[in-house]
Amino acid sequence: MMNNPSSSLSPSLALKCLKSPDPQETHKGNSPKHESAAGRSVPEEVLPKLVEEALVWSSLHGLVVGDGNNKRSGAVPGVGLVHAPFALLPVPFPTSQWRQACELAPIFNELVDRVSLDGKFLQDSLSRTKNVDAFTSRLLDIHAMMLADNKKEEIRLGLHRSDYMLDAETNLLLQIELNTISCSFPGLSCLVSELHRSLLNHYGKHLGLDSKKVPGNTTVSRVAHALAKAWNEYNNSSAVVMFIVSNEERNMYDQHWLSAELMERHGVNTLRKTLAEINEEGKLLPDGTLCVDGHTVAVVYFRSGYSPNDYPSESEWKARILMEQSSSIKCPCISYHLVGTKKIQQELAKPNVLERFLENKDDIAKVRKCFAGLWSLEDPASVGDAMERPEYFVLKPQREGGGNNIYGDDIRETLTRLTTEGGEGLSAYILMQRIFPTSYLSYLVREGICHHDYAVSELGIYGAYLRNKDKVIMNDQCGYLMRTKFSSSNEGGVAAGFAVLDSIYLT
């Protein structure tokens, strides 16, 4: 596997192993891409019916978000609703890579847990990032505080999502990132699979597609199951699962699907609170019990709190610390959160690091196989390679939230500036192999309008992990999220820009 040993090599060496795409044929300005003839074309007379049926289906089945054009839509449920943006048809995906991604989920679940227990590894690996990234620095402070207090999390709940792209040249499944906090779309991703199955049940014959090839997606029920199991471990039937939310949340219905499932299937009550509210209303009882607004909190589930923007004042940090000090089950606890940083992703890709945390050689090989090339900029050779051939790299800042990645000529500019400035600025970034996924001709529907162009997709696999001090209670793959965006706005990932929800068509 050319990309496995590469993580420890200078990028130039690693890239020589990649079959280089012909720039004349496949590069388009700063966005090299592969276009495939495998895209779908829906007959003109069928298309409007298909779009209308999909829009109706979304409205009737709660595949909705708040409409940015409506000021109240992020705060008041039931008003300013619009269908969630979606792809009209599922995206082709090879069965073997699909299975590979699913099999990786429990291994990554275990890896996160193991790494989280090595406080020194986390602190050491992130020590330079700490100096240049204020947000990571605050997280590390909390982590250090818990280490100093010898605070143990005996019940640990992880709800992760590992995001992948398929490299078009090699057909390799390569990891983009591993999310350990606030993984969105467990609710809506399921609905898109159902939407696509329903459309193919009605129009599959016209399109030569079979609805059975869209894998069923049960993320919402399995994630709710994991939250309920954790709630059960806490062992207080009057306690609640507390969702940490933003004041304004246009993606609230995705969260509400999870709350509804918790209530209807498991009889578990949900409390929705912002970090600021928790600071106002929360208190710790002497035994460590967290009470918020009169409710005992069994599980803290973060759907906010992953980005510096979520902490506009000290109040939010106080709330975070209060929760971390409590006996509530945190999803995630501070160390799980840190394991999801890009710097740790890069550290884990170094030779012999995975071996410190996993014993099973097959598991190690499987994980390593999905690592793209990842390099620290502390090595001047990496900087040189990236300056020379920036089109083969992505410069990723530690900063969370997506849309901050740097490509093409901007890589040169950024690296020149950081090198000139001296200091530790380079530590705020990691360098990653740029992945060129296959583009498919796609129909993306947003605000009731269908757009038709080449698009690329990113597959996220949800994982759920729960253990107490005695044993692992749950370690599962939970379902998937497919996101698609037009290649013209391709910046190597789909988190930024006009991305839509999609599903998989197994090939």
Instruction: Summarize as ranges the residues that interact with a copy of itself (CB under 8 A).
Output: 52, 54-62, 64, 67, 72, 76-83, 202, 253, 256-257, 259-260, 263, 447-448
Which residue, 280 or 391, has its beta carbon nearer to a copy of itself?
A: 280
Q: Is 389 part of any known ligand binding site?
A: no
Q: Give the active site residue among 33, 342, 343, 467.
A: 342
Which residue, 71 or 212, has its beta carbon nearer to a copy of itself?
A: 71
Which residue, 239 or 344, has its beta carbon nearer to a copy of itself?
A: 239
Q: Give the active site residue among 179, 189, 221, 279.
A: 179
Q: Nearest distance from residue 223's CB to a copy of itself, in Å?
A: 16
Residue 168 CB contacts under 8 Å (≥ 6 apart), including other chains: 34, 36, 436, 437, 438
Q: Nearest distance from residue 263's CB to a copy of itself, in Å?
A: 7
Which residue, 62 or 497, has its beta carbon nearer to a copy of itself?
A: 62
Rounded CA gap, 111 and 465, in Å?
11
Angle at 184 between CA 322 and CA 60, to 5 degrees: 125
Rounded CA gap, 472 and 14, in Å?
38
Q: Is 443 part of any known ligand binding site?
A: no
Q: Is 316 part of any known ligand binding site?
A: no
Cβ count within 10 A of residue 351 = 12
Q: Is 66 part of any known ligand binding site?
A: no
Q: Is 342 part of any known ligand binding site?
A: yes
Q: Give the active site residue among 396, 408, 487, 492.
A: 396
Is 19 tagged catalytic? no
Q: Give the active site residue among 401, 413, 417, 447.
A: 401
Which residue, 57 or 505, has its beta carbon nearer to a copy of itself?
A: 57
Q: Give the active site residue among 12, 30, 70, 184.
A: 184
Rounded CA gap, 233 and 242, in Å?
15
Rounded CA gap, 453 and 153, in Å?
48
Q: Where are the beta strands (DSSP E) in 270-373?
A: 270-273, 282-284, 290-292, 295-302, 329-331
Helix (H) or strand (E) holding 476: strand 472-486
Is 72 tagged catalytic? no
Q: Is 269 part of any known ligand binding site?
A: no
Which residue, 221 or 398, has its beta carbon nearer to a copy of itself?
A: 221
Q: Nearest distance from residue 264's CB to a copy of itself, in Å?
A: 8
Residue 3 CB contacts under 8 Å (≥ 6 apart), including other chains: 14, 17, 18, 172, 174, 371, 372, 373, 433
CA neighbor of 340 nearest in space, from 165, 172, 463, 243:
463
Q: Nearest distance from residue 362's CB to a copy of itself, in Å?
A: 42
Give the gyration radius of the chain's Cα atoms: 22
Which residue, 43 or 380, has its beta carbon nearer to a copy of itself?
A: 43
Structure tokens at 460: 């996220």
Q: Nearest distance from residue 115's CB to a copy of itself, in Å?
A: 37
Rounded CA gap, 38 and 63, in Å?
28
Cβ count within 10 A of residue 367 = 22
Is 184 tagged catalytic? yes
Decide: 231 and 270 in contact? Cβ < 8 Å.
no
Q: Give the active site residue among 233, 324, 347, 400.
A: 400
Q: Is 75 exposed, middle or buried (0-12, 13-18, 19+ CB in 10 A)?
A: middle
Q: Is 407 part of any known ligand binding site?
A: yes
Structure tokens at 444: 């993306």
Is 424 tagged catalytic? no
Q: Nearest distance from residue 82's CB to a copy of itself, in Å?
A: 5
**Tokens 């199955």 -> residue:** 197
Q: Is 491 part of any known ligand binding site?
A: yes
Is 483 tagged catalytic? yes
Q: Nearest distance from residue 212's CB to a copy of itself, in Å?
A: 17
Rounded CA gap, 496 and 454, in Å?
17
Q: Give the active site residue among 161, 197, 320, 330.
A: 161
Q: Is 182 part of any known ligand binding site?
A: yes
Binding site for Mg(2+): what residues are annotated? 177, 179, 400
Binding site feature residues for ATP: 177, 342, 396-405, 407, 432-435, 458, 485, 491
Annotated binding site: 161, 177, 179, 181-184, 249-251, 255, 303-306, 342, 396-405, 407, 432-435, 458, 483, 485, 491, 494-495
Known catalytic residues are 161, 177, 179, 184, 342, 396, 400-401, 483
Detail the residues annotated as belonging to a binding site for substrate. Answer: 161, 181-184, 249-251, 255, 303-306, 483, 494-495
